[in-house]
Chain A
Amino acid sequence: ETGVTQTPRHLVMGMTNKKSLKCEQHLGHNAMYWYKQSAKKPLELMFVYNFKEQTENNSVPSRFSPECPNSSHLFLHLHTLQPEDSALYLCASSQSANTEAFFGQGTRLTVV
Protein backbone atom coordinates (compact mmCIF):
# COMPACT_ATOMS: atom_id res chain seq x y z
CA GLU A 1 0.00 0.00 0.00
CA THR A 2 1.62 3.22 -1.14
CA GLY A 3 -1.12 5.69 -0.33
CA VAL A 4 -2.14 6.05 -3.98
CA THR A 5 -5.29 4.18 -4.87
CA GLN A 6 -6.45 3.51 -8.39
CA THR A 7 -9.84 2.19 -9.44
CA PRO A 8 -10.81 0.06 -11.14
CA ARG A 9 -7.92 -2.41 -11.16
CA HIS A 10 -9.12 -3.99 -14.37
CA LEU A 11 -11.33 -2.57 -17.12
CA VAL A 12 -12.55 -3.99 -20.40
CA MET A 13 -14.27 -1.55 -22.71
CA GLY A 14 -15.52 -1.38 -26.26
CA MET A 15 -14.25 1.18 -28.71
CA THR A 16 -17.49 3.16 -28.50
CA ASN A 17 -17.66 3.20 -24.70
CA LYS A 18 -16.90 6.07 -22.36
CA LYS A 19 -15.20 5.20 -19.09
CA SER A 20 -13.13 6.94 -16.43
CA LEU A 21 -10.13 5.90 -14.38
CA LYS A 22 -9.83 7.27 -10.89
CA CYS A 23 -6.78 8.00 -8.77
CA GLU A 24 -6.82 9.16 -5.17
CA GLN A 25 -4.03 10.14 -2.81
CA HIS A 26 -4.23 11.39 0.75
CA LEU A 27 -0.52 12.00 1.15
CA GLY A 28 -0.77 15.76 0.89
CA HIS A 29 1.17 15.74 -2.35
CA ASN A 30 1.04 18.62 -4.80
CA ALA A 31 1.87 16.86 -8.05
CA MET A 32 0.00 14.02 -9.72
CA TYR A 33 0.79 12.12 -12.88
CA TRP A 34 -0.69 9.70 -15.39
CA TYR A 35 1.61 7.17 -17.02
CA LYS A 36 0.91 4.55 -19.67
CA GLN A 37 2.78 1.26 -19.84
CA SER A 38 2.27 -0.84 -22.93
CA ALA A 39 3.62 -4.35 -23.27
CA LYS A 40 7.41 -4.43 -23.57
CA LYS A 41 7.69 -0.63 -23.65
CA PRO A 42 9.00 1.81 -21.04
CA LEU A 43 6.60 3.82 -18.95
CA GLU A 44 5.34 6.80 -20.92
CA LEU A 45 4.47 9.99 -19.09
CA MET A 46 1.08 11.24 -20.26
CA PHE A 47 0.04 14.15 -18.05
CA VAL A 48 1.41 16.13 -15.14
CA TYR A 49 -0.68 18.16 -12.73
CA ASN A 50 0.91 20.54 -10.29
CA PHE A 51 -1.31 22.23 -7.71
CA LYS A 52 -4.35 21.08 -9.76
CA GLU A 53 -3.06 22.75 -12.90
CA GLN A 54 -2.01 20.72 -15.90
CA THR A 55 1.63 21.49 -16.55
CA GLU A 56 2.40 18.87 -19.12
CA ASN A 57 0.57 17.02 -21.87
CA ASN A 58 3.00 14.66 -23.53
CA SER A 59 1.33 14.73 -26.97
CA VAL A 60 -1.49 12.53 -25.75
CA PRO A 61 -4.45 11.99 -28.15
CA SER A 62 -7.62 13.85 -27.25
CA ARG A 63 -9.49 10.60 -26.64
CA PHE A 64 -7.70 10.68 -23.28
CA SER A 65 -8.97 13.57 -21.16
CA PRO A 66 -7.55 14.17 -17.69
CA GLU A 67 -9.29 16.00 -14.88
CA CYS A 68 -7.95 17.14 -11.54
CA PRO A 69 -10.81 18.52 -9.42
CA ASN A 70 -8.66 18.87 -6.31
CA SER A 71 -5.20 18.06 -5.10
CA SER A 72 -6.20 14.58 -3.93
CA HIS A 73 -8.00 13.27 -6.99
CA LEU A 74 -7.07 12.70 -10.59
CA PHE A 75 -9.24 11.22 -13.30
CA LEU A 76 -8.58 9.99 -16.79
CA HIS A 77 -11.66 10.07 -18.99
CA LEU A 78 -11.62 7.68 -21.89
CA HIS A 79 -13.73 7.75 -25.05
CA THR A 80 -13.58 6.12 -28.48
CA LEU A 81 -10.39 4.27 -27.63
CA GLN A 82 -8.55 1.96 -29.98
CA PRO A 83 -7.30 -1.58 -29.27
CA GLU A 84 -3.72 -0.26 -29.24
CA ASP A 85 -4.67 1.83 -26.21
CA SER A 86 -4.80 -1.36 -24.19
CA ALA A 87 -2.16 -0.99 -21.48
CA LEU A 88 -1.48 -0.57 -17.79
CA TYR A 89 -2.36 2.99 -16.74
CA LEU A 90 -0.49 4.19 -13.69
CA CYS A 91 -1.13 7.15 -11.47
CA ALA A 92 1.55 8.65 -9.24
CA SER A 93 1.97 11.57 -6.89
CA SER A 94 4.85 13.39 -5.29
CA GLN A 95 5.30 16.22 -2.83
CA SER A 96 7.88 17.98 -4.95
CA ALA A 97 10.44 17.32 -7.64
CA ASN A 98 13.07 16.40 -5.08
CA THR A 99 11.04 13.82 -3.24
CA GLU A 100 10.04 10.36 -4.27
CA ALA A 101 6.94 9.59 -6.31
CA PHE A 102 4.40 7.08 -5.07
CA PHE A 103 2.65 4.97 -7.64
CA GLY A 104 -0.68 3.27 -7.55
CA GLN A 105 -1.09 -0.35 -8.59
CA GLY A 106 -2.47 0.68 -11.94
CA THR A 107 -5.54 -0.04 -14.01
CA ARG A 108 -5.17 -2.82 -16.56
CA LEU A 109 -7.22 -1.56 -19.53
CA THR A 110 -8.28 -3.76 -22.41
CA VAL A 111 -10.02 -2.19 -25.40
CA VAL A 112 -12.01 -4.64 -27.51
Chain B
Amino acid sequence: DAKTTQPTSMDCAEGRAANLPCNHSTISGNEYVYWYRQIHSQGPQYIIHGLKNNETNEMASLIITEDRKSSTLILPHATLRDTAVYYCIVNSGGSNYKLTFGKGTLLTVNP
Protein backbone atom coordinates (compact mmCIF):
# COMPACT_ATOMS: atom_id res chain seq x y z
CA ASP B 1 0.00 0.00 0.00
CA ALA B 2 1.14 3.55 -0.70
CA LYS B 3 2.64 5.66 2.07
CA THR B 4 0.94 8.83 3.27
CA THR B 5 2.40 12.04 4.69
CA GLN B 6 0.44 14.30 7.01
CA PRO B 7 1.37 17.31 9.15
CA THR B 8 1.94 16.38 12.76
CA SER B 9 -0.50 18.91 14.14
CA MET B 10 -2.92 21.67 13.16
CA ASP B 11 -5.09 24.20 14.95
CA CYS B 12 -8.49 25.45 13.95
CA ALA B 13 -10.90 27.96 15.46
CA GLU B 14 -14.29 26.68 16.49
CA GLY B 15 -16.89 27.25 13.80
CA ARG B 16 -14.33 27.60 11.04
CA ALA B 17 -13.53 25.03 8.37
CA ALA B 18 -10.71 22.63 9.13
CA ASN B 19 -8.69 21.57 6.09
CA LEU B 20 -6.44 18.59 6.70
CA PRO B 21 -3.97 17.76 3.92
CA CYS B 22 -2.51 14.39 3.01
CA ASN B 23 0.13 13.50 0.46
CA HIS B 24 0.07 10.07 -1.18
CA SER B 25 2.27 10.59 -4.21
CA THR B 26 2.88 6.86 -4.77
CA ILE B 27 -0.79 5.93 -4.85
CA SER B 28 -1.71 3.43 -7.51
CA GLY B 29 -4.83 3.21 -9.62
CA ASN B 30 -6.75 0.75 -7.48
CA GLU B 31 -6.01 2.36 -4.13
CA TYR B 32 -8.64 4.18 -2.15
CA VAL B 33 -8.04 7.09 0.21
CA TYR B 34 -9.61 6.61 3.64
CA TRP B 35 -9.88 9.03 6.54
CA TYR B 36 -10.38 8.00 10.13
CA ARG B 37 -10.12 9.92 13.36
CA GLN B 38 -9.40 8.92 16.91
CA ILE B 39 -10.57 10.90 19.87
CA HIS B 40 -8.42 10.41 22.92
CA SER B 41 -8.64 6.90 24.43
CA GLN B 42 -11.39 5.81 22.04
CA GLY B 43 -11.37 3.51 19.04
CA PRO B 44 -10.81 5.05 15.60
CA GLN B 45 -13.89 6.27 13.78
CA TYR B 46 -14.42 6.07 10.05
CA ILE B 47 -15.03 9.44 8.39
CA ILE B 48 -15.02 9.12 4.62
CA HIS B 49 -13.27 7.48 1.70
CA GLY B 50 -12.89 7.97 -2.04
CA LEU B 51 -11.15 6.74 -5.15
CA LYS B 52 -11.14 9.53 -7.73
CA ASN B 53 -14.12 11.79 -7.26
CA ASN B 54 -14.70 14.22 -4.45
CA GLU B 55 -16.95 12.83 -1.76
CA THR B 56 -19.21 14.39 0.86
CA ASN B 57 -21.14 12.94 3.74
CA GLU B 58 -22.68 14.24 6.93
CA MET B 59 -19.30 14.45 8.65
CA ALA B 60 -16.91 15.83 6.08
CA SER B 61 -15.86 16.38 2.49
CA LEU B 62 -12.96 14.71 0.75
CA ILE B 63 -11.22 16.50 -2.08
CA ILE B 64 -8.84 14.38 -4.17
CA THR B 65 -6.57 16.06 -6.68
CA GLU B 66 -6.88 15.08 -10.31
CA ASP B 67 -3.55 13.25 -10.27
CA ARG B 68 -4.64 11.58 -7.00
CA LYS B 69 -1.32 12.35 -5.36
CA SER B 70 -2.86 14.32 -2.54
CA SER B 71 -6.15 14.88 -0.82
CA THR B 72 -7.77 17.21 1.69
CA LEU B 73 -10.29 16.37 4.36
CA ILE B 74 -12.61 19.27 5.10
CA LEU B 75 -14.63 19.61 8.28
CA PRO B 76 -16.90 22.50 7.29
CA HIS B 77 -17.72 23.84 10.75
CA ALA B 78 -15.30 22.47 13.32
CA THR B 79 -16.47 22.02 16.89
CA LEU B 80 -14.53 21.32 20.06
CA ARG B 81 -15.60 17.68 19.78
CA ASP B 82 -13.70 17.41 16.50
CA THR B 83 -10.41 17.63 18.38
CA ALA B 84 -8.76 14.30 17.53
CA VAL B 85 -5.97 12.61 15.62
CA TYR B 86 -6.93 12.32 11.96
CA TYR B 87 -5.49 9.49 9.90
CA CYS B 88 -5.20 9.43 6.13
CA ILE B 89 -4.81 5.86 4.86
CA VAL B 90 -4.33 4.47 1.40
CA ASN B 91 -5.71 0.97 1.00
CA SER B 92 -5.21 -1.18 -2.03
CA GLY B 93 -8.11 -3.42 -1.23
CA GLY B 94 -5.94 -6.49 -1.43
CA SER B 95 -6.86 -9.84 -0.03
CA ASN B 96 -5.54 -9.07 3.42
CA TYR B 97 -8.12 -6.36 4.07
CA LYS B 98 -5.80 -4.40 6.32
CA LEU B 99 -5.51 -0.76 7.23
CA THR B 100 -2.09 0.60 8.06
CA PHE B 101 -2.23 3.65 10.29
CA GLY B 102 0.53 6.25 10.34
CA LYS B 103 1.01 8.96 12.94
CA GLY B 104 -1.82 11.13 11.70
CA THR B 105 -2.53 14.82 12.33
CA LEU B 106 -3.55 16.05 15.75
CA LEU B 107 -6.26 18.59 15.08
CA THR B 108 -6.96 20.91 17.98
CA VAL B 109 -10.12 22.98 17.72
CA ASN B 110 -9.86 26.08 19.88
CA PRO B 111 -12.76 28.07 21.35
Contacts and interface: CB of A to CB of B under 8 A. Distances in A.
A105 B42 CA distance: 5
A31 interface: yes
Contacts of A55: 95-97
A11 interface: no
Contact of B95 (A42, A50, A92, A98): A50
Nearest to A99: B49
A97 B44 contact: no
B111 interface: no
A103 B44 contact: yes
Contacts of A33: 97-99
A21 interface: no
Interface size range of chain B in the complex = 20 to 34
Interface string A14-26: 0000000000000
B101 A42 contact: yes
A97 B102 contact: no
Given A42-B104, A43-B101, A48 B34 contact: no
A55 B38 CA distance: 26
Interface in B21-50: 32, 34, 36, 41-46, 49
Nearest to B32: A98
Given A88-B41, A97-B92, A56 B98 contact: yes
B103 interface: yes
Contacts of A106: 41-43
Interface of B: 32, 34, 36, 41-46, 49, 91-104
